[in-house]
Amino acid sequence: MKISEVAEKAGLTVKAVRYYENVGLIPKPARQQNGYRSYDDSVLPILNLIHRSRAAGFSVDECRELIELFNNPARHSADVHELICQKVEAIEKQQAQLEHIKEHLIALASRCENNEKSTCSILASLTK
Amino acid sequence: MKISEVAEKAGLTVKAVRYYENVGLIPKPARQQNGYRSYDDSVLPILNLIHRSRAAGFSVDECRELIELFNNPARHSADVHELICQKVEAIEKQQAQLEHIKEHLIALASRCENNEKSTCSILASLTK
DNA sequence: CTTAAACCTTACCCTTGCAGTAAGGTCAAG
DNA sequence: CTTGACCTTACTGCAAGGGTAAGGTTTAAG
């Protein structure tokens, strides 16, 4: 398989696949005579794992941990469970922050004159 | 005022103040004989605006828009209101995404064996 | 047979919002 | 006189690739 083919099968871009190789997430593939990367199917589970966990908000470094667990036959499923739960907590923290900011903005907006004049209590409040 | 003084008054780092100058958010200040930047109080409202709106999730470019409105005596307060509301909508979009991801992760975790064995339906699901 | 499209390669710059560091100048206190 | 706390510019780095250049290859069509 050439790179565009694995990329498409995994739902990734060619650029991304080469990037994951550069940062060591996936092993360096064999090369054809012409220098083209030559993949076999064994890379697909890892690429799928990367694609899905990136989409689920994991950083590339966190993907690395997941891949190590995936590659480790002596892993405990509880370790994977733990990683997922940590991510859920991180997301909840982020949600709380966003909620906080949103409420602040809504409070600002509600005090706004919202008309064609230049007097603006939002700007007044933000520059104080 | 020297740079560390304005920075502290606005709750910013010296680095950040110089950065905002470089990207044109604040005007280039006068210089003392020794080359040190010399600020007067007029920069403080702008720095406060930057500090608060950055904390509220605005990008530096969005801060630029706010500053332009702040500097424009012919502004309409409705325009400021509009910017805030757009930001609120963006935050809500982000919240919805996070919620989506979180639910996905929770669903994964709930199906996990969560024990000392290596069989892991999370990894199975992510690599499929 | 030739050419153009569609691949592939490496390598470098761009993004965001600064922080860190180097290498140096300046200023006040002890 | 020296130490320490400031200040200056300038360069590098972070995340996670995207965009582009400049070139080699292959394949389908004319």
- B83-106 tens-digit pLDDT: 999 999 999 999 999 999 999 999
CB contacts of B86 in chain A (<8 Å) are none
Non-local CB neighbours of A7 within 8 Å, separated by 6+ positions = A13, A14, A16, A17, A47
The model's pLDDT over B5-28, given as tens digits with 9 standing for 90+, comes to 999 999 999 999 999 999 999 999
Q: Do B122 and B60 belong together in one domain?
A: no
Q: Do B55 and B112 belong together in one domain?
A: no
Q: Rounded CA gap, A112 and B118, in Å?
A: 58
Indicate which CATH number applies to the domain containing A46. Answer: 1.10.1660.10
- The percentage of chain B sitting over the pLDDT mark of 70, rounded to a whole number, equals 100
Whether complex ipTM tops 0.90: no
Distance from CA of A33 to the nearest CA of B (A): 30
Q: State the nucleotide closest to A33 in CA–C1' terms.
A: D25
Q: Do B46 and B11 belong together in one domain?
A: yes
Q: Do B55 and B12 belong together in one domain?
A: yes
Q: Do B90 and B63 belong together in one domain?
A: no
Q: Please identify, among A32, A60, A75, the residue that sits at the C-terminal boundary of a domain.
A: A75
Q: Do A13 and A66 belong together in one domain?
A: yes
Q: Do B92 and B63 belong together in one domain?
A: no
Q: How far is the CA of B64 from the C1' of D7 (A)?
A: 27
CB contacts of B84 in chain A (<8 Å) are 105, 108-109, 112, 122
CA nearest to A113 within chain B = B77
Q: Please identify, among A75, A90, A114, the residue that sits at the C-terminal boundary of a domain.
A: A75
Q: Do B5 and B61 belong together in one domain?
A: yes
Q: How many domains does chain B divide into? A: 2
Q: Do A81 and A60 belong together in one domain?
A: no
Q: How far is the CA of B18 from the C1' of C22 (A)?
A: 18
For chain A, which residues score pLDDT lower than 70? none
Range of the domain at B114: 81-128
Q: Rounded CA gap, A41 and A26, in Å?
A: 13
Are residues B127 and A45, on separate chains, in Cβ contact within 8 Å? yes
Q: Do A11 and A53 belong together in one domain?
A: yes
Average pLDDT, chain A: 95
Q: How many other β-carbons are positioned within 10 Å of the β-carbon of residue B128?
A: 10
Q: Is A125 exposed, middle or buried (0-12, 13-18, 19+ CB in 10 A)?
A: middle
Q: Do B52 and B114 belong together in one domain?
A: no
Residue B4 has pLDDT above 90, yes or no: yes
Q: Do A35 and A91 belong together in one domain?
A: no
Contact A25, A50 (CB under 8 A): yes
- ∠ Cα B51 B57 B60 (to 5°): 60
